[in-house]
Amino acid sequence: MPVYAYRGLSAAGDSVAGVVDADNARNARSKLRTRGIFPTEISEERERRERSLRSWFPVLRARIPAIELALLTRQLGTLLGAGVQLVDALATLSEQSNRPAVKRILSQVRERVREGSPLADALAVHDQVFSALYVGMVRAGETAGALEVVLDRLADYAERQNEFLAKVRGALTYPFIMMVVGAGIMTFLVSYVVPQVATIFRQSQAALPLATRLLIGLSNLMTNYWIVILAALAGIVAAGGFLLSTAGGRRLYDRAVLRLPYIGPTVIRIICARFARTLATLLNSGVQLLPALDAVKRVVNNGLLAEAIEHSRETIREGQGMAQTLAQAKIFPPLLIEMIRVGERSGELEQMLERVADAYEREVATWLAQIATVLEPIMTLVMAAGIVFMMLAVLMPIFQLNQLMR
């Protein structure tokens, strides 16, 4: 159904604005008048064309930054806890936002809620912004009559996830920048500086050292065949993307990542921390275990672990314990299995999951900090070695020419 943006006056004479769903502009005006709104300006939102473009170009999809989504969730929970009606709370959040995309999304959610749709269903329409986990928790909160409590827990969960990801990005940012800058400097020297120096060496017709010949060969390769090199790199990226788009290729990739030394165990800890934190949040919000595992499976970005969670869900349905079924996969760490087993026996599964999530997040943060500390001097030494090699390759023929001139 088309969406129309409007501006108008309320029955009290106040200026109002928003969006409304209707078959055409005439029906949109009629719907607004029944609500006591007299539209002065109405125009159709180009939702269909935008949706078509976004399906082809994912980067154009409307998104809300994770930290801003956490803030909106916190504010919505606070307004509902203060006794503000849901429609009015959504209108307040829409009006105070400075992002046009956020305004439009919140206005559309408000319109659907005004028409009688549950908040979870209204959010599910915008699946590019609100994940299945988010929608599932909101639905559980509406069912239990504790929506404001669930929204507060959602905000807590989102803030902790953002904090954890910020630590990961912060630990890897400096080494990545050094790698990019170093590669850029080496490429510039090899493709621009070395060819000019090589011309002088060719004119001298003197025998060149091995290091100089290797450097000149590398320079010729990059300057004469750069199109072929770029095409080969593009082909490798395209082949990798196609491989990852297939079920078998993705499975091979997931298995290879988990088997990498040092990296594999860290990836498992990151995924287990996210699994435990998300499952604890869902269970604390009143979601039953089986639906919670189904939602958690969607936030696990490794196919092998997701399959193990799905298998655990099926066996739990048959009466077995979660710890027992997860242990059968032989992928999850013993600490996670043991904490889940203790939680199942004591009836404090949510608390045990939160504790193991805290433990894994601390381990990952510590490990990444150590890796960043080690990588910085290693990358500096590698860059220095490359520069020293290039200097020797250039200076050695110059010394030879000076000796011949004498």
Provide long-range contacts, Cβ within 8 A and 24+ apart, for 396-403.
396/209, 396/211, 396/212, 397/201, 397/204, 397/206, 397/208, 397/209, 397/212, 400/206, 400/209, 401/204, 401/206
The pLDDT mean for the chain works out to 80
Q: What angle do CA 66, 132, 151 make, to 5 degrees?
A: 60
What's the average model confidence in pLDDT over 116-124? 88
Q: Do the domains at 66-157 and 168-406 have one common CATH topology?
A: yes
pLDDT grade for 352, boundaries at 50, 70 and 90: very high
Domain 168-406 has CATH 1.20.81.30: yes
What's the average model confidence in pLDDT over 163-188? 78
Can you give the pLDDT at residue 3?
A: 64
Superfamily grouping for domain 66-157: Type II secretion system (T2SS), domain F (1.20.81.30)
pTM for the predicted model, two decimal places: 0.63
Q: What is Dmax (Cα atoms) for the chain?
A: 101
Whether 356 contacts 339, CB under 8 Å: yes
Q: Which strand ranges, in their side-by-side order, compose the sheet holding 3-9? A: 15-21, 3-9, 38-44
Residue type, 329: A
Q: Could you tell me the residue ranges of all domains in the chain?
A: 3-60, 66-157, 168-406
Can you give the pLDDT at residue 404?
A: 56
Q: Which of 11-20, 125-134, 225-234 has the highest mean pLDDT?
A: 225-234
Q: Which of 110-119, 208-217, 389-398 has the highest mean pLDDT?
A: 110-119
What's the average model confidence in pLDDT over 35-40? 79
